Structure 1
């Protein structure tokens, strides 16, 4: 089972528990689910949903930008002009800071 399938499986299991009107402990016992595993996936799915965001970045060549710079346009309206000589780590730091 790949990660996407595991996520889908545990999302369904957690939803079944919510609809079952059983306590988590009772639900796990009735369905042969390890109690700690249930909590691991509950926490993992909850934390993933609240922390992951996807921000598209549009790369356009602009006639007014110099060849020594790269201009980034973020979906939130921010425009950033960065030196083209930056390495990938430095660019990632800037992108993370601007989002």
Structure 2
């Protein structure tokens, strides 16, 4: 899987109305693997644009 593929999946999770764990379960993706992808993307984004870290959609 390419970095672009991983970024697309992380973005899909962030736009969903689910928690990261729920989204991973629905997609058959290991939660720990997803967290590695999200961490790497957060670090890349933070270094490139000073964006705040985001793991997935937050609900109230």
TM above 0.5, yes or no, is: yes
Q: State how many pairs are aligned.
A: 48
Higher Cα radius of gyration: 1
The structure whose RCO (Cα within 8 Å, separation 6+) is larger is 2
Q: Which structure 1 residue ranges, 5 or more long, are not aligned?
A: 53-99
- TM-score with structure 2 length normalisation? 0.69
- TM-score with structure 1 length normalisation? 0.44
Give the RMSD, CA atoms, in angstroms.
1.4
Shift, 1:51, TM fit: 2.4
Which structure has greater strand proportion?
1
Which structure has greater helix proportion?
2
Q: Which structure 2 residue ranges, 5 or more long, are not aligned?
A: 49-60
